[in-house]
Amino acid sequence: MKKLKFLEIDGSFGEGGGQILRTAITLSCIMKQPINIENIRKNRKKPGLKPQHLTSLSILKKICNADVGQIKIGDTSLKFIPGHVKSINLKENVGTAGSISLIFQVLIPVIAFCQKKLKLTIIGGTSVLWSPTIDYTQIVLREVYLRMGINCSINIIKRGYYPKGGGIVELEVLPTKKINSIALNTRKTKNAKLICTFSKLPFELINNQIKNIKKKLIENNFIVETKFNEEPTLDSGSSLMISSIDNDSIIGIDSLFNIKTKTFDLDLDKFIDNNLSVDEYLADMLVLPASLARGTTIFQVPNISKHLETNLFVASKITGCKYGIGKLKNGYEIRIEGISYTNIK
């Protein structure tokens, strides 16, 4: 029997969190490359695998017959051997308020790039700390996926806040026929869409915060469209999503309502002052599909985050893609030369 050759990845590199794990197992499935990850989430207060990671790995075991050995919460190392990806319908439960959005970052590219189909109903957290909200995933990340040729739909059935979760989301992913590189330049629109979802909190409390945010946007010459959704959930909570999208830019920012301070934890200036093409969170999410695309993907971002640095490192190590970073007056330009992934005809 031929001995497997594992690609060694140090999970403490860069941001040293869950991002390096998600990107590595996703590309491992797509490239059929066994990997050995050490020091998983070493830079976090509680290192090792969390429930959302176990859910992602459990689903990958089902869709590609992956061999992950005996794993449990808190493990800091993982040998991952991908198998053949298949189309599948699934129902899954994270069991906590673990982030559904972060699980989707793994599943969508694997299914799409391997030209399979997935229908998934999943229960977990839709709006939780240290994760993009499901609205960000549905509005911002899905937008860039569609432009690059990744066809997926996200249907939010029920919201789930910390600590109980209980959010329900339906995901459908279709085969990708072609991975397009994209070029995003500078933001040209001053339109902003603001979506606020809340549960078991007084509307007046939430509305007062939204009024202040809207006022600041208008003062900076934005045309603001506002939408409120009051929806039943297991726990009280509120999430806010602000997006600004045109042909040359995809920029978003999301936030959760802080029950203690009674405010949204939001750095609105990041959204207002960003006249480039993507926000700092989308920048790192762009790396994986760009590494597999045909041609060169170009985008501009205000700063180089640890997540972006991490994804560039992991993607180039697993796929062999090349990238460059150029300094701009008000940020950085990223160029990623994709490998023209050959399994997509």
**Catalytic residue list:** 307
Question: Would you say 64 and 83 are in contact if contact means Cβ atoms under 8 Å apart?
Answer: yes
- Candidates 104, 37, 17; CA nearest to 317 is 37
Q: Which helix (H) or strand (E) holds 173?
A: strand 167-173
Question: Would you say 268 and 216 are in contact if contact means Cβ atoms under 8 Å apart?
Answer: yes
Question: Would you say 107 and 118 are in contact if contact means Cβ atoms under 8 Å apart?
Answer: yes
Bridge partners (DSSP) of residue 224 are: 192
Question: Would you say 18 and 42 are in contact if contact means Cβ atoms under 8 Å apart?
Answer: no
Distance CA 202, CA 108 (A): 36
Give the number of C-alpha atoms closer than 13 A to the C-alpha of residue 312, restricted to the C-beta side: 17
Distance CA 256, CA 238 (A): 6
- Type of residue numbered 19: Q
Distance CA 345, CA 342 (A): 7
Distance CA 288, CA 105 (A): 10
